[in-house]
Amino acid sequence: MLEPLLAPLREEFFLRALAAVILGGMTCACLGAYVVLRRMAFVSTALTHSILPGIVGALLLGCSPYAGALAAALLTAGGTAWLASRRGTSEDSAIGVMLSVMFAAGIALMQQARSWRDFGGLLFGSVVSVGPEDLLAIGLTAAVVLLSLRALHKELELASFDEEYARLLGARPGLMRAVLLALVAVGAVGCVRLVGALLTTALFVIPAATGVLLGRTLAGVMAWGAAVAVLGGIAGLYLSYHAPGVPSGAGIVLCCALPYLLARLFAPRR
C-alpha cells in the first residue's frame, strides 16, 4: 500500500529533489514571513524575475549562473532603492520599472543565446534535475539566510514592527531593510531551481501568508510557514512523480496553496 510513497525514494534524483525542497522551502518560508508582514511581495517578485537576465548573461559570458543571478538580483534591489530615493517616483513604480526592464533584458539576451528551450527549467523550475552542485548552492543559501535571520532576529522584528522605535534605539532600521532585501535576493537565487524564476515569489508569499493566519508570534509564523512549504514541496514532488503531466514547479506551488486556502477558510479569527 505504501509502494507509491516508497518507490520514488529508491531513485537518487528524487532524494536530491526532496533535500532541495526541504532546505529551500524552509529558507523561503522564513524569509517570506518578513516579505508578507512588511508588504514586500512586489519587490520580491522583481528580484526573482531579475534572475533571468543574470543567468542568461552569465551563460553568454561563460561564468557561473549563480554569480550572474546574484549580481542581477542585487542590481535590481539597488536600482529600485536608487529610483525610489527621489520624490516623484514611488517605490511601487520604481519596482515596476526595474522588474520590467530586467525581464525585457532577459528576453533580449535569450534571443542572443538563440535557444529558448534551455531556459524552460530556469523559468518554470526543474527540481527533479537538481545536481550535487545545485544542492550545494541550496544548502549554502539555507545556511546563510537562516543563520542571518536567527542572529538578527530581534532587530529585524523590531524594524519590521515599529521602525521609529528602532531608529530611536539606534537599531538601524534602514540597514535592516537592506539586509532583508539582500537576503531575499540570495534566497531567490539559491532556490531558483525549485519552482523557477517566474514562481519563486509563490514560495516567499504563500507559506508565510498561511503562517500569518496561524501563528501568534513571528517565530510561530515562520514555523507554520516552513511546515507548509516543506510539506507542500514534498507533496508537489510526489504529485509530479505520479502524474508526469504536472511539472514539479507547478505541483509544488499548487500543493502549498491548498493549506493556505484551508487556513483562510477555517483558521480562527483573532
Partner 1 sequence: MSHRTAGLWEQFHGAIFGVLPRIPYAAPETPVAGPAIRAEGLTAAARPDGPVAFTDVALEIPVGCRAALVGPNGSGKSTLLRVLAGLTPARAGKVEVLGRAPALGRRRVAYLAQRPDLTPYFPLTLRRLVQMGKYAHHGWFDECRHGDADVDQALRLLELGDLAERPVHALSGGQLQRGLLARATVQGAELLLLDEPYAALDAASRAIVERFLAERPAGLTVVMATHDPADARRSDRVLELRGGALRLLHDCAGHDHRHA
**Does residue number 170 form part of the binding site for partner 1 (CB under 8 A)?**
yes
List own/partner pairs for 72-78 with CB under 8 A and 24 or more apart: 72/102, 73/47, 73/48, 73/185, 73/186, 73/188, 73/189, 74/182, 74/185, 75/50, 75/102, 76/46, 76/47, 76/50, 76/102, 76/185, 77/43, 77/47, 77/178, 77/181, 77/182, 77/184, 77/185
How many residues are recorded in the chain? 270
Among positions 161, 174, 242, 267, the unique one binding partner 1 when judged by CB under 8 A: 161
Instruction: Mark the segment that binds partner 1 (CB under 8 A) among 6-14, 41-49, 73-81, 210-218.
Output: 210-218
Q: How many CB atoms lie within 10 A of CB 173?
A: 20
CB of residue 34 vs partner 1: minimum separation in angstroms?
11
Q: Please give the Cα distance from 177 to 175 (Å, whole number).
A: 5
Among positions 220, 234, 238, 254, the unique one binding partner 1 when judged by CB under 8 A: 220
**Does residue number 169 form part of the binding site for partner 1 (CB under 8 A)?**
yes
Among positions 35, 95, 156, 221, the unique one binding partner 1 when judged by CB under 8 A: 221
Binding footprint of partner 1, residue count (CB under 8 A): 31
**Does residue number 215 form part of the binding site for partner 1 (CB under 8 A)?**
yes
Q: Please give the Cα distance from 84 to 269 (Å, whole number).
A: 36
Among positions 60, 63, 147, 262, the unique one binding partner 1 when judged by CB under 8 A: 147
Q: Please give the Cα distance from 109 to 105 (Å, whole number).
A: 6
Instruction: Mark the segment that binds partner 1 (CB under 8 A) among 46-54, 72-80, 156-164, 190-198.
Output: 156-164
Q: Please give the Cα distance from 111 to 94 (Å, whole number).
A: 26
| Residue 183 vs 197, nearer CB to partner 1 | 183
| Residue 122 vs 223, nearer CB to partner 1 | 223
**Does residue number 163 form part of the binding site for partner 1 (CB under 8 A)?**
yes
**Does residue number 209 form part of the binding site for partner 1 (CB under 8 A)?**
no
**Does residue number 15 form part of the binding site for partner 1 (CB under 8 A)?**
no
**CB distance 189 to 51 below 8 Å:** yes
Instruction: Mark the segment that binds partner 1 (CB under 8 A) among 49-57, 111-119, 134-142, 159-167.
Output: 159-167
Among positions 37, 101, 257, 258, the unique one binding partner 1 when judged by CB under 8 A: 37
Q: How many CB atoms lie within 10 A of CB 135?
A: 18
**Contact positions toward partner 1, by CB under 8 A?**
37-38, 147, 150-155, 157-158, 160-165, 167-172, 212, 215-218, 220-221, 270
